[in-house]
A and B are shown apart, each in its own frame.
Chain A
């Protein structure tokens, strides 16, 4: 086995929970995206063209648009999640690549490391999620059309499904590969030297920046210390707050989608000959879809929260270790706890702001596509 592969495998063994969570997150995300894509494909391929001008068609179109918006946000969230994971190991990876450079690894051999990670975790997780997701999407699509009482066309050629599946695999694995590889193959010679000296250039920059605004000076000492700490560990705090925001964003995305779908009843009620009378019919039509979405979004939220919790624990341990410096200059434990509380407040505030902005963007996207 090549040394690069050995290193990648041992890293997985050393931190199994972290890698398992990442695998699960990519798997569930891909399954969900694949389910949504195939649900839309099934409703397009099986819908009878004779119904094209009826309000039912307009409802189907709205559902598909909602699903497209949700899938788009899911792709974005998955990309950010992979990027977060790569970011967590950035320092470790930089040091590895720097050592490999110093012992004479060729550029191709250095690039082999992220490719091996892609082979071992990212690509298998994406592939494992796509097939079951697509089957579930097709089943839900058929059930949805059946509940609505739509005229169903005969099943199209299996080749067509295979084509959609292939496109899904290419796009899914392609996006995963891009998110995984891009941040890792852009190391500069400066980062190699810095990593060899065990200096984190980003931390060095933030540690040397200092605030001198009056607002900052007027804050209490403990708040200023907390602010300094947040500045110093900026990449870690950004990552944690982003991770929390994304975890909380999944149920919000689900709720927004439900909200917008349940508000299209007017279109259906407009034509009594469709045989669909009330909102209840719409709810029953989309209930299975929502049940599946609910399970998936819940899983993604739990996985995201677990990852964020792991990061918080790691940062807490780092801060406890750093606390020795404060204690050595006479700060008591209660004050140190207050500093930590201020840091936590900043973290929560940042997560809430990111979540709020994300929700507003998602809501606007739904309004634009579905029509408010």
Chain B
């Protein structure tokens, strides 16, 4: 599903160069649930941005389903993001001007496809937001907004889900609910999940835990 080879990324600063990713290589198989843990500044989010095609490395390759994200022109990278990759962020990143329903169907609408109402109903039930389709994000709690973000990722039927601190802004109860949903996405729909987290409890839901430090993988454990 995901083949990363010799990925290197540096950021210039006034004090010299910061190595965010140091020749990192990683293979994630289809259907895996991987948690990436490590201290702040270890390169976890940079790795996620590279996989999502939001940032470009200095060298190396990121193959998603056999396609190199690094060398993909912007238009094709956008298409791949829309069809293959779902992304969830710590701060939900919903569009405040769109209702819950419109936020969920946004990637499909951008793709110019018809909305499958049955599937939308099913996903709303799964995330426990049925009956709130017309609400705007600011009328929802943090946990509910994160569930909308999950529903948006799920509705696009991605084969890879990238989650950047999905429980970082939530209380314990909501965090457990979000982790339950992510596990369900992985086990029921077979979606490969790569999650960056600081939470040990969240990482415990994953089948594989990768620890990063100074832009390198220092530990890779399967449970």
Name A residues whose Cβ lies closer than 8 Å to a Cβ of B: 2-3, 6-7, 10-11, 14, 95-96, 98-109, 189, 192-193, 196-198
Most chain A CB inside 10 Å of its own CB: which residue of B85, B102, B110: B110
A193 x B55 contact (CB < 8 A) = yes
On chain B, the residues within 8 Å of A108 by CB distance are: 75
Name B residues whose Cβ lies closer than 8 Å to a Cβ of A: 49, 52, 54-56, 74-75, 78-83, 85, 87, 89, 91, 93-95, 97-98, 102, 106-107, 109-111, 152, 156
A96 x B95 contact (CB < 8 A) = yes
Which residue of the partner chain, among A11, A103, A192, contacts B110 with CB atoms under 8 Å? A103
Chain B's nearest CB lies how many Å from the CB of A106?
4
On chain A, the residues within 8 Å of B98 by CB distance are: 3, 6-7, 10
Which residue of the partner chain, among B55, B79, B93, B109, contacts A106 with CB atoms under 8 Å? B79
Chain A's nearest CB lies how many Å from the CB of B153?
9
The chain B residue sitting closest to A11, CB to CB, is B97
B55 x A99 contact (CB < 8 A) = no
Which residue of the partner chain, among A101, A109, A189, contacts B56 with CB atoms under 8 Å? A189
What separation, in Å, do the CA atoms of A197 and B156 have in the docked complex? 22
Chain A's nearest CB lies how many Å from the CB of B100?
13
Chain B's nearest CB lies how many Å from the CB of A9?
8
**Contact A103 to B107, CB < 8 A, known contacts A11-B97, A96-B95, A196-B93:** yes
On chain B, the residues within 8 Å of A102 by CB distance are: 52, 54, 81, 87, 89, 93
Q: List 25 A-B contacts (CB under 8 A).
A: A2-B109, A3-B98, A3-B106, A6-B102, A7-B97, A10-B97, A10-B98, A101-B81, A102-B54, A102-B89, A103-B87, A103-B152, A103-B156, A104-B83, A104-B85, A104-B110, A104-B156, A105-B78, A105-B82, A106-B74, A106-B75, A106-B79, A107-B78, A192-B54, A193-B49
- With A99-B93, A196-B89 given, name 12 new contacts (CB 8 A): A95-B93, A96-B95, A99-B94, A99-B95, A102-B89, A103-B110, A104-B79, A104-B82, A105-B82, A106-B75, A107-B78, A108-B75
On chain B, the residues within 8 Å of A14 by CB distance are: 97
B97 x A104 contact (CB < 8 A) = no
B95 x A7 contact (CB < 8 A) = yes
* Pair count A-B, CB < 8 A: 78
What separation, in Å, do the CA atoms of A196 and B85 have in the docked complex? 16
Chain A's nearest CB lies how many Å from the CB of B44?
13
On chain B, the residues within 8 Å of A100 by CB distance are: 110
What separation, in Å, do the CA atoms of A100 and B54 have in the docked complex? 11
The chain A residue sitting closest to B90, CB to CB, is A197
B55 x A189 contact (CB < 8 A) = yes
Which residue of the partner chain, among B78, B111, B152, contacts A101 with CB atoms under 8 Å? B78
The chain B residue sitting closest to A109, CB to CB, is B110
A189 x B54 contact (CB < 8 A) = yes
On chain A, the residues within 8 Å of B83 by CB distance are: 104
What separation, in Å, do the CA atoms of A95 and B111 have in the docked complex? 20
What separation, in Å, do the CA atoms of A193 and B87 have in the docked complex? 13
On chain A, the residues within 8 Å of B78 by CB distance are: 101, 104-107, 109
Which residue of the partner chain, among A6, A11, A198, contacts B91 with CB atoms under 8 Å? A198
What separation, in Å, do the CA atoms of A105 and B156 have in the docked complex? 13
What separation, in Å, do the CA atoms of A95 and B96 have in the docked complex? 10
Which residue of the partner chain, among B82, B94, B109, contacts A3 with CB atoms under 8 Å? B109
Chain A's nearest CB lies how many Å from the CB of B187?
24
What separation, in Å, do the CA atoms of A106 and B78 have in the docked complex? 5
What separation, in Å, do the CA atoms of A197 and B81 have in the docked complex? 18
On chain A, the residues within 8 Å of B55 by CB distance are: 189, 193
B79 x A196 contact (CB < 8 A) = no
Chain B's nearest CB lies how many Å from the CB of A110?
9
Chain B's nearest CB lies how many Å from the CB of A227?
23
What separation, in Å, do the CA atoms of A108 and B111 have in the docked complex? 12
**Contact A107 to B97, CB < 8 A, known contacts A189-B56, A196-B89:** no
On chain A, the residues within 8 Å of B87 by CB distance are: 102-103
On chain B, the residues within 8 Å of A104 by CB distance are: 78-83, 85, 107, 110-111, 156
The chain B residue sitting closest to A110, CB to CB, is B78
Chain A's nearest CB lies how many Å from the CB of B184?
21
Chain B's nearest CB lies how many Å from the CB of A15?
11
Chain B's nearest CB lies how many Å from the CB of A50?
63
What separation, in Å, do the CA atoms of A11 and B96 have in the docked complex? 9
Chain A's nearest CB lies how many Å from the CB of B90?
8
What separation, in Å, do the CA atoms of A103 and B109 have in the docked complex? 11
Most chain A CB inside 10 Å of its own CB: which residue of B87, B94, B152: B87
On chain B, the residues within 8 Å of A193 by CB distance are: 49, 54-55
Q: Which 5 A-B pairs give the minimum distances between C-beta atoms?
A: A104-B82, A104-B81, A10-B97, A106-B78, A103-B107
B91 x A101 contact (CB < 8 A) = no
**Contact A107 to B74, CB < 8 A, known contacts A3-B109, A189-B56:** yes
